[in-house]
Amino acid sequence: MKSYLKSLFQKFQKSYTPDGVYPTIDHWWNQLPDHQRQTNGLRPNIYPPQSLSRQPPNTLDADLYWKFNLDYGTQSQPAYLASVAGGRIWNGVAVITPDNQLLSDASIYMRVDPNNPKKHPIFRQEIQPPTYLDKTVAVLSAAGGNSFFHWIVDVLPRYDLLRRSPDWFQDIDYFIINDLAQGFQRDSLKLLNIPPEKLITAADYPHLQAKRLLVPSFVRHQTCNIGNWAFEFLRQALIPQTILDSDDTNKTRRLYISRNKASSRRLLNEDEILENLQKKGFEKVFLEDYSLTEQIKLFATANSVIAPHGAGLTNLIFCPKNSKVLEIYSPNYVSVSYWNICNQVGLDYYYLFGTGPRPQPFEDPHLRLEDIHVDISEFEAILKEMKIE
């Protein structure tokens, strides 16, 4: 009898798991009847698609590593801002419309193919009822938003889309973000002059329904196709004006970014490498010892950066144009994210593999934690290619 009553209760209990999907914001908007459009809104081309160009990276190898030869596309996606009356946000990563549909292109989730949105984890959850706020809430949060790269690249540019609609921006009561636990989160929001009392977190509101939910698009859909507008916003908003205004002759620092305080992707023969670099005027930097503001100043005044692959290279966004960059990889883990950034902000990019067997083309072991050993003769050769003396 108890099990029967339980099943009967569950049958009539409201489900907050989405019933289906709107693949794009246009699919949602186009099905809205006229009377509902009066209380909702869509501004579809805050930034139209932008053309992207990528130069091949520089390397000692005769053939480029295969990931640098893939077709990543030549255009960014148009950037939009939507106003959803009664919209919901779940765990900071899923936007649900009042008719209980997932807004797929506003709910990008890592390792979920945007062309197969039913794989989104929200469809495998028993979702508790939302907390309702009779307010206008703007969504800044994104998947991975507690990590440095995703916070800078995926979260912060959404703020620019909001401020590009001043009539909606002035109505915002709260901004929902992933969390405030990380120093870089607090530092960047302070630089954007967002009042602390207007910040709420997905950690505190795992399922939120707002009277009005403002939803800016993402700058990318798990691709490298990031519009230049996003990088320009980040540079203008976060680099101190005194540095932006200063002559490039004052931007001559040479940085070696060490990962030897980290638990992965450490350069095993770093002392040997540093002996060479310090003679050339490089300074060893542990980015974890610096605030975000200090990291930005470091990179914004540098003309050369050498580092093993790591999230700290997100700061390349702030480097002066034509700065030289050398990214050092393990043969078993390559990400082209920073090559893409260098292309978009106009940096001179090089890469070097550590020692060890190389996988076959199109084979990706994805051993992302593996430490790296560099051949000294190869290292000296690529410095010569970079004209670093």
Other Cβ atoms closer than 10 A to 197? 8
Q: What is the pLDDT of residues 87-102, one digit of tens each?
A: 999 999 999 999 999 9
pLDDT band of residue 117 (cuts 50, 70, 90) is confident
Does the pLDDT of residue 7 top 50, yes or no? no
Does the pLDDT of residue 9 top 50, yes or no? no
Q: What is the pLDDT of residues 233-260, one digit of tens each?
A: 999 999 999 888 887 777 899 999 999 9
Name the DSSP letter for residue 372. Answer: B
276 or 4, which is more confident = 276
Q: What is the pLDDT of residue 3?
A: 54
pLDDT band of residue 119 (cuts 50, 70, 90) is confident
H-state helical runs in the chain? 2-12, 25-31, 34-37, 148-150, 157-163, 166-169, 183-191, 228-238, 241-245, 270-279, 292-300, 337-345, 376-385
Does the pLDDT of residue 330 top 80, yes or no? yes
Q: What is the pLDDT of residues 180-195, one digit of tens each?
A: 999 999 999 999 999 9
Instruction: Give the domain 239-385 fold.
Output: Rossmann fold (3.40.50)
Rounded distance between C-alpha atoms, residue 239 and residue 237, angstroms: 6
Average pLDDT over residues 288-306: 97
Residue ranges of the domains in the chain?
A: 11-46+78-222, 239-385
Rounded percentage of the chain residues whose pLDDT exceeds 90 = 87
Alpha-carbon distance values, 35 to 38, 83, 220 (Å): 6, 15, 32
For the chain, the average pLDDT equals 93
Does the pLDDT of residue 1 top 50, yes or no? no
Handedness of CA 357, 360, 361, 364 (dihedral sign): negative
In 245-389, beta strands by DSSP E: 253-257, 282-285, 302-308, 324-329, 348-353
Rounded distance between C-alpha atoms, residue 147 and residue 182, angstroms: 9
Does the pLDDT of residue 39 top 60, yes or no? yes
Q: What is the pLDDT of residue 112?
A: 78
Q: What is the pLDDT of residue 222?
A: 63
Burial group, residue 232, by CB count within 10 angstroms (0-12, 13-18, 19+): middle
Q: Which pTM does this prediction carry?
A: 0.93
Angle formed by the axes of helices 183-191 and 228-238, nearest 10°: 90
Does the pLDDT of residue 30 top 80, yes or no? yes
pLDDT band of residue 5 (cuts 50, 70, 90) is very low
Polymer length of the chain: 389
Q: What is the pLDDT of residues 51-80, one digit of tens each?
A: 999 999 999 999 999 999 999 989 999 999
Q: What is the pLDDT of residue 94?
A: 95
Q: What is the pLDDT of residues 139-151, one digit of tens each?
A: 999 999 999 999 9
Does the pLDDT of residue 153 top 60, yes or no? yes
Average pLDDT over residues 290-313: 97
Asked which of 7-21, 104-118, 287-301, 363-377 is least confident by mean pLDDT, the reply is 7-21
pLDDT band of residue 41 (cuts 50, 70, 90) is very high
Q: What is the pLDDT of residues 160-183, one digit of tens each?
A: 999 999 999 999 999 999 999 999
224 or 29, which is more confident = 29
